[in-house]
């Protein structure tokens, strides 16, 4: 079925629906994602650990240069994942990386400043490191 996710920290709402089915149309107040995702860009390090715990490491195609995961670092070395390039560093490469991703997981500050208009509908705002308690951060899994 369909799952609804509400990010109160970021003020965004997401609809997750089974891949290869028609996305529900609940209006422009939601971002829609067919799951499971097969191509994810991650601009920060904390969500990488969550994705690994969920067993979907192979879906990471773009990763933070500061990754703490040895496995994801090896993915970059073997070219099965690329290091994230910000729009301010190289707008053309950034747009290419984001065009290939089904979803982009970023933090609240970057999400609010997202410069690549074409990929805005794919940005998922994740703020586990903004939480004040360990349990609050873990709830993002």
10-62 per-position pLDDT tens digit = 889 999 999 999 999 999 999 999 999 999 999 988 889 889 998 999 999 99
Mean per-residue pLDDT, 124-134: 71
Q: How many Å is the Cα radius of gyration of the chain?
A: 15
How confident is the model at residue 60, as a pLDDT? 97
Q: Smallest Cα–Cα separation from 111: which of 75, 87, 132, 77?
A: 87
Cα distance between residue 52 and residue 60, in whole Å:
9
Q: Is pTM beyond 0.85 here? A: yes
Predicted pLDDT at 134: 65
pLDDT band for position 108 (cuts 50, 70, 90): confident
Give the whole-angstrom CA distance, residue 10 versus residue 111: 8
> Which ranges constitute the DSSP H helices of the chain?
46-53, 70-77, 91-99, 108-112, 134-138
Pairing of strands 40-42, 3-7: unpaired
């Amino acid at each position: 079925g369909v799952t609804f996710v509400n990010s109160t920290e970021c003020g965004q709402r997401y609809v997750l629906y089974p891949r290869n089915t028609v996305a529900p149309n609940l209006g422009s107040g939601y971002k829609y994602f067919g799951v499971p995702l097969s191509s994810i860009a991650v601009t920060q390090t904390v969500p990488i650990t969550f994705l690994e715990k969920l067993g979907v490491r192979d879906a990471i195609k773009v990763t933070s240069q500061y990754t703490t995961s040895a496995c994801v670092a090896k993915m970059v070395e073997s070219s099965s994942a690329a290091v994230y390039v910000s729009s301010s560093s190289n707008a053309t490469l950034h747009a290419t990386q984001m065009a290939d991703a089904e979803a982009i997981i970023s933090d609240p500050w970057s999400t609010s400043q997202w410069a690549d208009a074409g990929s805005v509908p794919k940005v998922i705002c994740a703020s586990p490191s903004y939480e004040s308690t360990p349990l609050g951060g873990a709830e993002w899994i």
